[in-house]
Chain A
Amino acid sequence: MNLSVNLCGLRLDNPVIPASGCFGYGKEFSEFYDINCLGSFSFKGTTLSPRFGNPTPRIAETPGGMLNAVGLQNPGVEHVIAHELPEMKAYFHKPVIANVSGFSIEEYVETCQLLDAQEQVGILEVNVSCPNVHGGGMAFGTSAQSAAAVTKAVKAVTKKPVFVKLSPNVNDIVSIAKACEDAGADGLSLINTLLGMRIDLKTRRPILANTMGGLSGPAVFPVALRMVYQVYRAVKIPLMGMGGVSSARDVIEMMLAGATAVQVGAANLVNPFACKEIIEQLPVEMEKLGISSLEEIIGMAGA
C-alpha cells in the first residue's frame, strides 16, 4: 500500500496536509498527537507586517460548515522567521508549506523572498484569495491578470516551488488557473473559502463583525471538487485540492478529481485528531477500493 505522492519534487509520505488558517503553526495540534504523521502542513497565512485582523465575532456557524472572518491575523514574517519556525523544529521535522498574503505585489515579493530563504520551507503557497481583507487578498485572485502578475513577480525572486491559492468566488476559475500556470506557477491550491454571511434574527444584524466571511466545511466540498476537476483538465501543473475535506474517502475523491495532495481545513477545528484519523483510515479505504498506490489515481475521474 503506497500513500506517498510527489509534489513538485517534494516526496510526501502521504497527501494529507492541514490547510492554512486551520492549523496555526502546528503547536496546538502537537499537544494532541505527533504531527510528523502528516504529509506536510500549510502554516498560518503570513504577511509582511503583523496584523491583528478583524474585530470579533469572527466566527459563525451554518449547517455543514462555518464562516470565518479572521482577516489574516498573524505576527508578521519577521516574527515567524525569528520565533515560529525555530520553535516548529522541536515538533515537526518535515518541510513545511509557507502560506503568504499581501496587499501589494511588492509585499508578496518581499514576504516570499524572506520565506524562500528558510530551510524548513518546502513550498510557498501564495494566497491571492482571502475574502476577509480589503484592498488585498482576494482582490488579486479574482482577475487572471492580477493573479498572473503576483505569480510572475514572486517566481522571479524565489527558488522553491510556488503554489498559487485560488479563490472560488470567480466566474471562470479555469482561465485564472491557466494565467497563473503561464506566469510560471509550479502548482495551484484550490479552493479558498466561499464568500457568505449570516444574520442574527434577534438583533437583525450580521453575526460577523466584518459582515461577510468565508464559508468552509463539508458544505463546500462538491464545489471544491468540481473546480479541481475542471482545472486539472486545463493545466499541466500539480494541484493541491481543498474545501470541506473531512474523511479518507473525501481525500480519495479529491485525488480522483485531479489533486496530487489534499488539504484539510475546518475539520481540524471540530476534531483536532481529524488529519491523524484520515491518514490512519486511508489504507483501510484503499484496500476496500482496490487502490494500491494513491499516486496512480490522480485525475482518474477525468480519464
Chain B
Amino acid sequence: MQYQIIENARIAPSVYLLDLAGDTSMLKAPGQFCQVQLPGLYLRRPISICDWDENGMTLIYKVVGQGTEALSQMETGAVLDALNGLGNGYDVNACGDHPLVIGGGVGTPPLYGLTKALLRAGKQPQVIIGFNTYEEIFLLDEFEDLDVPVTVTTADGSFGVKGFVTDAMEPADSRYVFACGPLPMLKAVYKKSGCPTGQYSLEERMACGFGACMGCSMETRFGPKRVCKDGPVFRKEELLW
C-alpha cells in the first residue's frame, strides 16, 4: 500500500511525527502497526499507528537505528510503501468504565488512538505517561485536548510527578490497565497493578510482521506466540512475568 508523506516533523529530541495520506481501511483497532519499506534497507520497519481517519494516519517514531534514521530524512510529498493493519491491537470492549492507560516514552503514541477509541466506546480513561525529562515530552497537549485526566511523570523530576509511571499509580489499583512502553516499564506496571487482567503491548525485532517467519516468537502461558501476529497486544494472564 502506498502512502504520501504530508508531514515528517521533529516533535522532541530524536522523535518525529509522520502524517501519511492513503488507504486506512485495513486498520481495525488501536495498537495495530504498519511495516514501512525504506530506501536501501532490505527489511521493513514496524511502526505503531498513533491515530488514523479515513484519509490517512499519523505515526510517531523515535530514531533508534538505520531504518528510523532513513525515515526521518524522508520529505513531504515522498511516497512510502507500507503493509498496514498488522497485529491484533487493543480490545476496548474488554475493560470496565474507568480504565487506566499507561505509556512510556515512544510507547505512548498508540495509546493516543486507544484513548480516543475508549472515549468513543463510552469509557472514562485516566492517562499516565512517562518520559525521562521535560524536553522529551510529546503528545501531552493532544491528550489534554481529549478532556481526559492526564498525569505526566519524568524520571528527573523536571515536569509533573518525579519518577516512573508506576510512581503515579495507586498501590493495588484494581482498574483495568492498557499499557505500552519499554519492557522494564511494562513489567513494573504488571507488578504494581492490582487488576488480574489488562492489555500490554510488546515489541520485538521482526522480519515479516505478519506471522510467517517466526522471528519474534515469545513463550506465553498458553504456548509460543508471535509478537507480530498474535500480539503485539497481550493479555496480562498470557504473560510469563
* Interchain CB contact (< 8 A) of A68 among B83, B207, B218: B207
Distance between A275 CB and nearest chain B CB, rounded to angstroms: 12
B215 pairs with A24, CB closer than 8 A? no
- Collect the chain A residues with CB atoms within 8 Å of residue B40's CB: 63
Residues of A within 8 A of B42 (CB): 61-66, 217-218, 266, 270
Provide 23 A-B residue pairs closer than 8 Å at the C-beta atoms, listed in order of the A residue. Answer: A22-B212, A22-B213, A23-B212, A24-B211, A24-B212, A28-B212, A53-B214, A56-B215, A56-B216, A57-B204, A58-B215, A59-B43, A61-B42, A63-B42, A65-B42, A66-B42, A266-B42, A268-B208, A268-B212, A270-B42, A270-B44, A270-B207, A272-B83
Assembly CA distance A60 to B207 (angstroms):
8
Residues of B within 8 A of A103 (CB): none
CB distance from B231 to the nearest CB of A (A): 13
Report the separation of the CA atoms of residues A29 and B41 in the bound assembly, to the nearest whole angstrom. Answer: 23
11 further A-B contacts with Cβ under 8 Å, apart from A52-B219, A269-B213, A270-B37, are A24-B211, A28-B229, A29-B212, A32-B210, A56-B215, A56-B218, A58-B216, A269-B207, A270-B42, A270-B44, A272-B83
Please name all residues of chain B whose beta carbon is closer than 8 Å to the beta carbon of A65 when the two chains form the complex: 42
In the complex the two chains form, what is the Cα distance from A32 to B208 in whole Å?
13
Q: Does A95 contact B (CB under 8 A)?
A: no
CA distance A77 to B208 in the complex (A): 24
> Is B207's CB under 8 angstroms from A66's CB?
yes
Q: Which residues of A contact B41 (CB under 8 A)?
A: 61
Measured CB to CB, the nearest residue on chain A to B227 is A56
Over the window 221-234 of chain B, the binary record of Cβ atoms lying under 8 Å from chain A Cβ atoms (1 yes, 0 no) is 00010000100000
Task: Count CB-based A-B contacts (< 8 Å).
Answer: 85
- Are A269 and B208 interface neighbours, CB within 8 A? yes
Given contacts A217-B42, A269-B207, A270-B37, contact A59 B215 (CB under 8 A): yes
State A34–B213 Cα separation when bound (angstroms): 19
- Bound state CA distance, A272 and B26, in angstroms? 16
- Contact residues of A: prevailing secondary structure: loop
A302 and B224 CA atoms in complex are apart in Å by 46
- Does B24 make an interface contact (CB < 8 A)? no
Min CB gap A124→B, angstroms: 21
In the complex the two chains form, what is the Cα distance from A23 to B215 in whole Å?
12
Give the distance in Å from the alpha carbon of A63 to the alpha carbon of B210 in the complex: 22
Q: Is B205 an interface residue (CB 8 A)?
A: yes
Q: Does B21 contact A (CB under 8 A)?
A: no
Complex CA distance for A296 and B5, rounded to whole angstroms: 47
Q: Mark A39-67, 1 if CB is under 8 A from B, else 0.
A: 00000100000001100111111111110
Contacts of A272 in B (CB 8 A): 83, 208, 210, 212
B66: nearest chain-A partner, CB-CB: A61
The answer, yes or no, to whether A279 is at the interface (CB within 8 Å) is: no
Partner of B215, one of A64, A70, A217, A270: A70
User: Would you list which residues of chain A between 53 and 100 have a CB under 8 Å from chain B?
Assistant: 53, 56-66, 68, 70, 73
Q: What is the CB-to-nearest-CB distance from A22 to chain B, in angstroms, rounded to a whole number?
A: 6
The interface residues of chain B lying within 8 Å CB-to-CB of A283 are none
* Shortest distance between the CB of B192 and any CB in chain A (Å): 26
What residue of chain B has the Cβ atom nearest to residue A58's Cβ?
B215
Asked if A21 CB lies within 8 Å of chain B CBs, one says yes
Taking a contact as CB atoms under 8 Å apart, the answer to whether A68 and B208 are in contact is no
List A residues 3-32 near B (Cβ within 8 Å): 21-24, 28-29, 31-32
Question: Complex Cα distance A66/B42, Å?
Answer: 7
**Contact A57 B214, beta carbon cutoff 8 Å:** no
Min CB distance A68 to B, Å, is 6
The answer for the CA separation of A141 and B216 in the assembled complex, in Å, is 27
- The smallest beta-carbon distance between B24 and chain A, in angstroms, is 18
Contact A61 B214 (CB under 8 A): no
Q: Which 4 A-B pairs have the closest CB atoms?
A: A59-B215, A269-B208, A57-B205, A28-B211
Closest CB in chain B relative to A21 CB, distance in Å: 7
Is B4 an interface residue, CB under 8 A from the partner?
A: no
Minimum CB–CB distance for A142 against chain B, Å: 24
Fill in one digit per residue for B31-57: 1 if any A CB lies within 8 Å of its CB, else 0. Answer: 000000100111110000000000000
Contact A56 to B204, CB < 8 A, known contacts A63-B42, A64-B42, A270-B42: yes
